[in-house]
Amino acid sequence: MKKIIVTGSNGQLGRAINSLLGKNTDYELVNTDFGVPQITDLDITDLDSVIELCREIKPYAIINCAAHTNVDACEVQIDAAHRINAIGPRNLAIASSETGAKLVHISTDYVFAGDGTKPYTEFDTPAPKAMYGITKLAGENFVKQFADRFFIIRTAWLYGDGKNFVGTMLRLAENHSNITVVNDQVGSPTSADELAKAIRSLISTENYGLFHGTCEGQCSWADFAKEIFRLAGKDTVVTPVTSRQYKEMNPASADRPHYSVLENYMFKLTGGYNFAPWEMAIADYFQKK
CB 125 within 8 A of CB 71: no
pLDDT at 257 over 80: yes
Confidence class of residue 266 from pLDDT cuts 50, 70 and 90? Answer: very high
Q: Which residue has the higher pLDDT, 36 or 277?
A: 277
The residues assigned a catalytic role are: 132
* DSSP one-letter string for 248-280: HH-TTPPP--SB--B--HHHHHTT---PPBHHH
Mean pLDDT of 123-148: 97
State residue 39's pLDDT score: 92
Mean pLDDT of the chain, nearest integer: 96
pLDDT at 88 over 80: yes
pLDDT one-digit tens code per residue, 6-63: 999 999 999 999 999 998 899 999 999 998 888 999 999 999 999 999 999 999 999 9
pLDDT at 289 over 80: no
- Which CATH number is 2-164+188-217+260-277 given? 3.40.50.720
pLDDT one-digit tens code per residue, 199-240: 999 999 999 999 999 999 999 999 999 999 999 999 999 999
pLDDT at 254 over 90: no
The proportion of the chain whose per-residue pLDDT surpasses 90, expressed as a percent, equals: 93
CB 240 within 8 A of CB 165: no
Q: Buried b vs exposed e over 185-206: b needs ≥16 C-beta within 10 Å?
A: bbbbbbbbbbbbbbbeebbeee
Nearest to 129 by CA among 147, 148, 114: 114
Distance CA 77, CA 6 (A): 25
pLDDT one-digit tens code per residue, 156-187: 999 999 999 999 999 999 999 999 999 999 99
